[in-house]
A and B are shown apart, each in its own frame.
Chain A
Amino acid sequence: MKDVIWLIKNLFKVTFKDKKKLFFTVGLPIIGILVSILIYGGSNTSTLHVGIVNHDHSMISSNTVKFIKGLDHVQVKEIKAADVEDKVSSGQLDCVVTFDKGYTQSIQNGHPDHVNIVSIKGATVTGFVKSYLNQYIDNINDLSLAGKGDQETFHRLYTDYQQAPFKMTTGTLNDTSKNNDMTYQAIGFLLMFMLIAAGNLSSMITQEKEGRTYFRLLSTPIDSKKYVLSNIITNLLIMIGQIIVTLIFMTKVFHIQLSMPVWEMFVTLILFALVAVGLSLAVIAFATSSAAGNAMLNLIVTPSCLLSGCFFPSGIMPETVQKIAHFLPQTWLLDTIDKLQQGQHFSQVYLNIFILLAFACAFFLIAVYKFGRNNNVNNFI
């Protein structure tokens, strides 16, 4: 073990004497946090951009639109049906409410229907509009039921309802969705930088082979297993440092609320650190040179981060791509964090944790198998 500690100390020295490596390891995740603050920053009160497509063109549907317009922090824009997908996927609108023909009729019949909400931002956005809209539609529906199918009675009741004053008590709840988005984005960046850092450290194995120091190391009482083990431990320690620095900056410097206990976030990210080290080792084991290793890592890291939603929510991707993302560890890590932020207990995300561990095990097994087959000193003398 003394040998391994000696090797770890040297790896730390070699890694952090290079200021560029230090910046890549610690500086970039902090820049990632800053970027996510810039994206999601600004005042705490956010305005919800809602698109309306009204195919019903009735008084009730027009009044419903007016009701939505009257909600606090909601900006409404009437759009054409053909523009829905475009406006939502480009982020110009947070959601679109569509009133299909027959909306008024369905309310008058006592079975409200023909209204749809489309969003890629999930329940955090649609929930707000939906809850107000449900309440409003339920009220009109009650009037319809009270009118017992008589149109005249319904219209009289509806006009009275429109004009009647009512008392409303309001309370304020913190909107955590924005913080969650910021955390999600910052963690997305952190995942990418963790993968890059793991790749850089693992590629030191090939660099040492090329620089012949590996050859010299093996001529000392150190064997290749101890050497690779020390690389793994160093890699993990550096990543733990990276996680700690990022979490400190997120919570203490930039005051981003994680919406989950810090220790849960820490443990989850450590799991991903294992995946990152395993993946980088598996890739390096296949690489014939450090340049090839770095190229392979770049080819894997950036697209997989993109597909799994490290840079923006994967919901805007086509369904097929979203299915592919299920084969990426980042997807499971982000999903774990999302679930924990929504209040699930750590024990309830055991499947995600198991999947992340399975990814790590699979990568390590591939690396061990490949290293075992090509770790012949004859390859680099």
Chain B
Amino acid sequence: MKVLEMKHLTRKFGDFIAVDNVTLAIDEGEIFGFLGTNGAGKSTTINMIAGLLHHTKGEIRILGKDVTKNKKFAKSHIGMVPQDIAIYEDLTAYENIQFFAGLYGLRGQKLKEQVEEALKFVGLSDKAKSFPKTFSGGMKRRLNIACAIAHRPKLIIMDEPTVGIDPQSRNYILSSVRKLNEMGCTIIYTSHYMEEVEEICSRIAIIDHGKIIAEGTKEQLKAIITNTKDIWIGINSTDTLDLSQLKLINGVKEVKVEEDVIKINSSADVNNLNTIIQYFIAAGIEIRTVEEQAPNLDTVFLTLTGRNLRD
């Protein structure tokens, strides 16, 4: 069953096309990674799904229903975890969750149970009566998530839920995302941390200049760029290094120096490792380490967009 379908979705701001003819479908039970640099059209797409922005053209369906005609239905099945922490500092953790859950129509015993459940889920049961101003950044992020899940939505949109928090809280949130998924929630996950997306997402879409430029599983995306490989050579000194000579070696496409590591991007079908090593020996440069990097999502993103995700 499709939880979310977008067909030819377009959003214009005057003459500027923020989202350009996007067609995507997300199945029930997926953790869908949505990647793009700032201004790529990611937030605009998410806001249209969440009913915060109207689309100029196209169609969005949540659980098979058109969101334009069934706004309330669509919104009641979505849990939004915004990038910025959106909670009331003057209300306790319990009251915050209770308030947002109440907006979805929950009342009485059911409300109480689901609020307690959400608090337990994010590990804040013992902080129920505490005010968010006393919380760490990680705890606030967890409360931010609890406010979005208490009404048990089918689709949870998480926009950068781990920004600016400690590794422990990040791990907690990532395992919570997996747990929510196991409980039957479909999740749209955006992050600037590629390793997070690689770790938890079953399918990924990359958006650039408002268009989806790649979509598929991690393996499918990596397969797009398997015509190149990365060789990283650690050296003691770059004083006598001549990059132009390295670039002349057969198959070498790009050479970058990052401190004492020479990063060489080369055609995958050319076996040139020996020639590269011989260049360093001949130049009298001592080699410390040699690594052949398997392509990861960072490489995929860089290859496809020409930019790093955090640019």
Contacts and interface: CB of A to CB of B under 8 A. Distances in A.
Interface of A: 2-3, 6-7, 10, 13-14, 17-18, 211-213, 215-222, 377-378, 381
Interface stretch (B76-84, B169-177, B205-213, B300-308): B76-84
Interface of B: 13, 43, 47, 50-53, 71-72, 75-76, 78, 80, 82, 84-91, 95, 99-100, 102-105, 147
- Could you tell me the dominant secondary structure of chain A's interface residues? helix
A213 B104 contact: no
B103 A377 contact: no
Contact of A220 (B13, B90, B100): B100
Nearest to B131: A17
A215 B86 contact: yes
B103 A217 contact: yes
Contact of B90 (A17, A217, A222): A17
21 contacts: A3-B105, A10-B88, A10-B102, A14-B91, A18-B90, A211-B86, A211-B88, A212-B85, A215-B82, A215-B86, A216-B80, A216-B82, A218-B51, A218-B52, A219-B75, A220-B104, A221-B71, A221-B75, A221-B105, A222-B103, A381-B43
A216 B80 CA distance: 7
A7 B88 CA distance: 13
Contact of A377 (B52, B86, B105, B147): B52
B53 A378 contact: yes
Contacts of B104: 220-221
Given A215-B52, A221-B76, A377-B47, A10 B105 contact: no
Contacts of A218: 51-52
A6 B103 contact: yes
B88 A213 contact: yes
A3 B103 contact: yes
Task: Kindly list the 5 A-B residue pairs having the minimum CB-CB distance in the complex, ordered from nearest.
Answer: A216-B86, A219-B80, A212-B86, A220-B103, A212-B84
Given A2-B105, A381-B43, A219 B90 contact: no
Nearest to A16: B90
B52 A381 contact: yes
Given A212-B82, A216-B86, A377 B53 contact: yes
A381 B48 CA distance: 12
A113 B99 CA distance: 75
A115 B99 CA distance: 72
Nearest to A217: B103
Nearest to A5: B102
A10 B90 CA distance: 11
A247 B147 CA distance: 41
Most central of A7, A18, A215, A222 by chain B CB within 10 Å:
A215
B90 A14 contact: yes
Contacts of B102: 6, 10
